[in-house]
Amino acid sequence: MAEVLLFHHVQGLTPGVIALADELRAAGHTVHTPDLFDGHTFDSIEDGFGYAKQVGFEALGERADRAAEELPTALVYAGISFGVMSAQRLAQTRAGARGAVLLESFVPPSEFGTGWPAGVPAQVHGMDADPFFALEGDIDAARAFVAEVEDAELFVYPGDQHLFTDSSLPSYDAEATALVTQRVLDLLGQDPHVGG
Protein backbone atom coordinates (compact mmCIF):
# COMPACT_ATOMS: atom_id res chain seq x y z
CA MET A 1 0.00 0.00 0.00
CA ALA A 2 1.13 3.54 -0.74
CA GLU A 3 1.81 6.37 1.68
CA VAL A 4 0.42 9.65 0.38
CA LEU A 5 1.02 13.23 1.48
CA LEU A 6 -1.97 15.31 0.31
CA PHE A 7 -1.84 19.11 0.39
CA HIS A 8 -5.13 21.01 0.52
CA HIS A 9 -6.27 23.82 -1.77
CA VAL A 10 -6.41 27.55 -1.02
CA GLN A 11 -9.74 27.33 0.81
CA GLY A 12 -8.07 25.20 3.46
CA LEU A 13 -8.36 21.69 4.84
CA THR A 14 -12.09 21.39 4.17
CA PRO A 15 -14.33 18.39 4.86
CA GLY A 16 -14.22 17.67 1.12
CA VAL A 17 -10.44 17.36 1.14
CA ILE A 18 -10.71 14.96 4.08
CA ALA A 19 -13.40 13.00 2.22
CA LEU A 20 -11.13 12.59 -0.80
CA ALA A 21 -8.32 11.37 1.47
CA ASP A 22 -10.76 8.98 3.12
CA GLU A 23 -11.58 7.44 -0.27
CA LEU A 24 -7.92 6.52 -0.68
CA ARG A 25 -7.69 5.34 2.93
CA ALA A 26 -10.68 3.06 2.36
CA ALA A 27 -8.62 1.28 -0.30
CA GLY A 28 -5.89 0.59 2.26
CA HIS A 29 -3.51 3.48 1.62
CA THR A 30 -2.07 5.75 4.29
CA VAL A 31 -2.92 9.39 3.58
CA HIS A 32 -1.53 12.36 5.51
CA THR A 33 -3.44 15.66 5.27
CA PRO A 34 -1.41 18.41 6.94
CA ASP A 35 -3.27 21.65 7.66
CA LEU A 36 -1.04 24.42 6.35
CA PHE A 37 -3.65 27.04 7.30
CA ASP A 38 -3.76 26.24 11.04
CA GLY A 39 -7.46 25.39 11.06
CA HIS A 40 -8.63 28.26 8.87
CA THR A 41 -11.00 27.50 6.00
CA PHE A 42 -12.53 30.00 3.60
CA ASP A 43 -15.78 30.33 1.67
CA SER A 44 -14.07 31.63 -1.46
CA ILE A 45 -10.86 31.23 -3.41
CA GLU A 46 -10.26 34.97 -3.06
CA ASP A 47 -10.49 34.89 0.74
CA GLY A 48 -8.20 31.87 0.94
CA PHE A 49 -5.69 33.50 -1.38
CA GLY A 50 -5.77 36.63 0.76
CA TYR A 51 -4.95 34.56 3.83
CA ALA A 52 -2.12 32.78 1.98
CA LYS A 53 -0.64 36.13 0.98
CA GLN A 54 -0.91 37.36 4.56
CA VAL A 55 0.91 34.31 5.95
CA GLY A 56 3.39 34.36 3.07
CA PHE A 57 3.93 31.79 0.35
CA GLU A 58 7.46 31.07 1.55
CA ALA A 59 6.19 30.38 5.08
CA LEU A 60 3.50 28.06 3.71
CA GLY A 61 6.14 26.24 1.67
CA GLU A 62 8.18 25.79 4.83
CA ARG A 63 5.14 24.32 6.58
CA ALA A 64 4.76 21.85 3.71
CA ASP A 65 8.44 20.93 3.98
CA ARG A 66 8.10 20.30 7.71
CA ALA A 67 5.08 18.06 7.10
CA ALA A 68 7.16 16.01 4.65
CA GLU A 69 10.22 15.86 6.91
CA GLU A 70 8.18 14.08 9.59
CA LEU A 71 7.40 11.25 7.15
CA PRO A 72 9.37 8.60 5.26
CA THR A 73 10.88 9.64 1.93
CA ALA A 74 8.97 6.97 -0.03
CA LEU A 75 5.87 9.11 -0.51
CA VAL A 76 3.37 9.82 -3.23
CA TYR A 77 2.91 13.59 -3.20
CA ALA A 78 -0.57 14.88 -3.98
CA GLY A 79 -2.06 18.34 -4.08
CA ILE A 80 -5.27 20.09 -5.00
CA SER A 81 -4.87 23.39 -6.87
CA PHE A 82 -2.82 25.62 -4.51
CA GLY A 83 -1.53 22.44 -2.85
CA VAL A 84 -0.02 21.29 -6.15
CA MET A 85 2.83 23.77 -5.75
CA SER A 86 4.10 21.98 -2.64
CA ALA A 87 3.31 18.49 -3.92
CA GLN A 88 5.01 19.03 -7.27
CA ARG A 89 8.03 20.76 -5.75
CA LEU A 90 8.58 17.97 -3.22
CA ALA A 91 8.06 15.25 -5.82
CA GLN A 92 10.77 16.87 -7.93
CA THR A 93 13.26 17.84 -5.23
CA ARG A 94 12.91 15.42 -2.31
CA ALA A 95 14.68 12.13 -2.94
CA GLY A 96 12.61 8.97 -2.75
CA ALA A 97 9.35 10.18 -4.29
CA ARG A 98 7.11 7.31 -5.43
CA GLY A 99 4.70 9.37 -7.48
CA ALA A 100 2.75 12.60 -7.86
CA VAL A 101 -0.97 13.32 -8.15
CA LEU A 102 -1.56 16.89 -9.26
CA LEU A 103 -5.21 17.96 -9.17
CA GLU A 104 -6.49 21.07 -10.92
CA SER A 105 -3.11 22.78 -11.27
CA PHE A 106 0.28 22.24 -12.88
CA VAL A 107 3.43 24.25 -13.46
CA PRO A 108 6.35 23.48 -15.78
CA PRO A 109 8.90 21.37 -13.89
CA SER A 110 11.57 23.98 -14.70
CA GLU A 111 9.85 26.29 -12.15
CA PHE A 112 11.50 24.22 -9.43
CA GLY A 113 14.94 24.34 -11.00
CA THR A 114 15.06 20.70 -12.01
CA GLY A 115 13.60 18.29 -14.53
CA TRP A 116 11.13 15.60 -13.64
CA PRO A 117 12.85 12.78 -11.72
CA ALA A 118 13.23 9.56 -13.67
CA GLY A 119 10.94 6.73 -12.65
CA VAL A 120 8.46 8.88 -10.73
CA PRO A 121 4.97 8.43 -12.22
CA ALA A 122 2.67 11.43 -12.31
CA GLN A 123 -0.97 12.15 -12.97
CA VAL A 124 -2.40 15.58 -13.75
CA HIS A 125 -6.19 16.05 -13.56
CA GLY A 126 -8.30 19.08 -14.50
CA MET A 127 -11.39 20.33 -16.28
CA ASP A 128 -11.22 21.49 -19.89
CA ALA A 129 -12.87 24.87 -19.23
CA ASP A 130 -11.68 25.51 -15.65
CA PRO A 131 -10.83 29.23 -15.64
CA PHE A 132 -7.66 28.55 -13.68
CA PHE A 133 -6.43 25.19 -14.97
CA ALA A 134 -7.48 25.49 -18.61
CA LEU A 135 -7.44 29.23 -19.23
CA GLU A 136 -4.28 30.26 -17.34
CA GLY A 137 -1.91 27.87 -19.10
CA ASP A 138 -1.70 24.93 -16.70
CA ILE A 139 -3.30 22.54 -19.19
CA ASP A 140 -0.82 23.54 -21.89
CA ALA A 141 2.12 23.01 -19.54
CA ALA A 142 0.66 19.63 -18.55
CA ARG A 143 0.30 18.59 -22.21
CA ALA A 144 3.94 19.45 -22.85
CA PHE A 145 4.92 17.56 -19.70
CA VAL A 146 3.15 14.32 -20.63
CA ALA A 147 4.60 14.51 -24.14
CA GLU A 148 8.10 14.51 -22.65
CA VAL A 149 7.80 12.28 -19.57
CA GLU A 150 7.09 8.60 -20.12
CA ASP A 151 5.43 7.96 -16.75
CA ALA A 152 3.15 11.02 -16.87
CA GLU A 153 -0.56 11.10 -17.67
CA LEU A 154 -3.00 13.97 -18.19
CA PHE A 155 -6.70 13.44 -17.56
CA VAL A 156 -9.09 16.15 -18.72
CA TYR A 157 -12.75 16.24 -17.70
CA PRO A 158 -15.59 18.20 -19.30
CA GLY A 159 -16.63 21.19 -17.23
CA ASP A 160 -15.73 24.66 -16.05
CA GLN A 161 -15.43 24.12 -12.30
CA HIS A 162 -12.36 24.71 -10.18
CA LEU A 163 -12.02 22.59 -7.03
CA PHE A 164 -14.40 20.05 -8.51
CA THR A 165 -12.94 17.25 -6.38
CA ASP A 166 -14.02 18.85 -3.08
CA SER A 167 -17.41 17.43 -2.05
CA SER A 168 -17.95 20.21 0.50
CA LEU A 169 -17.94 23.01 -2.11
CA PRO A 170 -20.57 24.10 -4.66
CA SER A 171 -18.05 23.40 -7.45
CA TYR A 172 -18.07 19.65 -6.68
CA ASP A 173 -18.60 17.26 -9.59
CA ALA A 174 -19.35 13.79 -8.22
CA GLU A 175 -19.06 11.97 -11.54
CA ALA A 176 -15.71 13.51 -12.45
CA THR A 177 -14.38 12.98 -8.91
CA ALA A 178 -15.31 9.30 -9.03
CA LEU A 179 -13.17 8.99 -12.17
CA VAL A 180 -10.32 10.92 -10.57
CA THR A 181 -10.44 8.67 -7.52
CA GLN A 182 -10.40 5.49 -9.59
CA ARG A 183 -7.48 6.71 -11.69
CA VAL A 184 -5.52 7.73 -8.61
CA LEU A 185 -6.18 4.33 -7.03
CA ASP A 186 -4.96 2.72 -10.26
CA LEU A 187 -1.73 4.71 -9.99
CA LEU A 188 -1.26 3.82 -6.33
CA GLY A 189 -1.81 0.14 -7.04
CA GLN A 190 -0.17 -0.37 -10.42
CA ASP A 191 3.50 -0.43 -9.50
CA PRO A 192 5.26 -2.03 -6.55
CA HIS A 193 7.48 1.07 -6.43
CA VAL A 194 4.50 3.33 -5.82
CA GLY A 195 3.29 1.22 -2.95
CA GLY A 196 6.75 1.15 -1.43
List, for residues 38-72, the tens digit of each pLDDT value: 999 999 999 999 999 999 999 999 999 999 999 99
* Alpha-carbon separation of residue 180 from 36, 68, 111 (angstroms): 24, 24, 25
- Average pLDDT score, the chain: 95
pTM of the model: 0.94
pLDDT, tens only, 143-165: 999 999 999 999 999 999 999 99
Q: What is the pLDDT of residue 81?
A: 98
- Say how far apart CA 85 and CA 83 lie, in whole Å: 5
What is the rounded average pLDDT of the residues 119-128? 97
pLDDT higher than threshold 80 for residue 190: no
Q: What is the pLDDT of residue 114?
A: 82
- Residue 7: CB atoms within 10 A of its CB come to 30
Strands (DSSP E) contained in the chain are 3-7, 30-32, 76-80, 99-103, 122-127, 152-157
The structural domains of the chain, ordered by start, are 3-190 (3.40.50.1820)
Largest Cα span, the chain: 41
Q: How far is CA 90 from the centre of its chain?
A: 11
More confident of the two residues 196 and 14: 14
